[in-house]
Amino acid sequence: MTLPMAAMDSLAIEEPNEAVENYLVISAHDYRSPRKAGIHFVTDELKKRGPTRFFSVRYSNLSKYTEDPRLSLDAKANKITHHEGVECYLWKTLIHPVNTRRAWLRAPEALVYSWYARGENNTFQKWVREASVILLESGISPIFFDAIKKLNPKAKIVYRVSDTLEAINAGHFVTRTFDRVAPQIDTIVLISKHLADSVPSDHNLAYCPQGIDPALMNEGDPSPYNGGKHAVSVGSMLFDPNFFVIASRLFPDVHFHIIGSGHGRHPNYGDNVSVYGEMPFALTLRYIKHADFGIAPYYSNALPVYLRETSLKLIQYDFFRVPAVCPEFIAADYAGRFGYTIGDEKSIERAITLALTTPRTTGSLPHLNWNEVVDRMLAPQKYSDTEVTA
């Protein structure tokens, strides 16, 4: 039987549908938390592409002693809930493994890690079996590699490195496991090329920087400020309260806004310092967009070089062309950043003065959107800019 030409044309343009992937994210963050990290935005993009689940780990009765930001979700622990199109589960156990930092406790510490790594949770095991792509966030998640392979050997495993295991004080068991399994992971995503030396593998590396949604430029209005000069700090990583003790005294005409630092109000803060708790991401944008300058008040002098490129707050300041005040090592030669020596009053005064008086310039960081970032994470071989050179 010969088909009419029109029918043949219609058959020619019909293409088979691509299989829909089922995504599983395993992280010590929780998708429902108001504080946003890069993994939240990656998950936002994954859910557009297929069914997405978020399994949150390293949470237990011990967490209440560590000011874990997921404590507000405790009532939802060990329950499957739906949040903004994503199935979420916070796995709460009696205890969870921790790095005791004591060599003489390494053996019992390893026993706890070994028990936890088996992933003996019905939801974990079901979700692993049903996933086609499993995204592991840097931290404790590599210890689940063996369990994942046993439950679902066909799943594609992507490990996203946002910090070195050393920088986040990962336990010896985690480091040793990662050293063993890293070459077997399908793709190891680096959000900075400076992270390459921390990975004991090279054939499966892909560079995919932090992303940002360009639509944010149209958000963050109106300004939350009522006249005057305003500076903002967001996040809790390596937070240095002493910076604000010094800065609030040196600049009484600047109002300093501290959001989600994980610290209460310091007794030596000036009256020109406002301290806020955790705040939804959309609300923090207003404080960033309309600030005269942003602050990344890290307290440590032993900061990793990759933080220059991976700090989400610095990326957001850069995106909105808000000058940033941060330690000299992080400021480096990046446009729009003004560095100071930690604890040094004169250098802090100089950095803030420059931030207030230097004309705003275009930032010096790449700004891929999250769609472009996730494209590269899932298929790095298609993009030349994902290559990691030695």
d(CA 194, CA 208): 12
d(CA 387, CA 40): 24
Name, in order, each residue with C-beta under 8 angstroms of 312's C-beta and a sequence gap of 6 or more. Answer: 36, 37, 38, 210, 235
Cβ neighbours of 245 (radius 10 Å): 16
Structure tokens at 100: 């005791």
d(CA 94, CA 59): 9
Q: Backbone dihedral region of 294: left (phi > 0), alpha (psi from -120 to 50 degrees) or beta? A: beta
d(CA 58, CA 173): 14
How big is the CA angle at 302 (ends 328 and 373), to the nearest 5 degrees? 75
Query: In what order do the strands lie in the sheet containing 254-259?
Result: 273-276, 254-259, 229-234, 293-295, 324-327, 337-340
Catalytic residue among 30, 44, 68, 163: 163
Residue 202 among the catalytic residues: no
For residue 170, which of 100, 71, 120 has the smallest C-alpha distance?
100
For residues 214 and 367, is the Cβ–Cβ distance under 8 A? yes
For residues 319 and 336, is the Cβ–Cβ distance under 8 A? no
Residues annotated as catalytic are 163
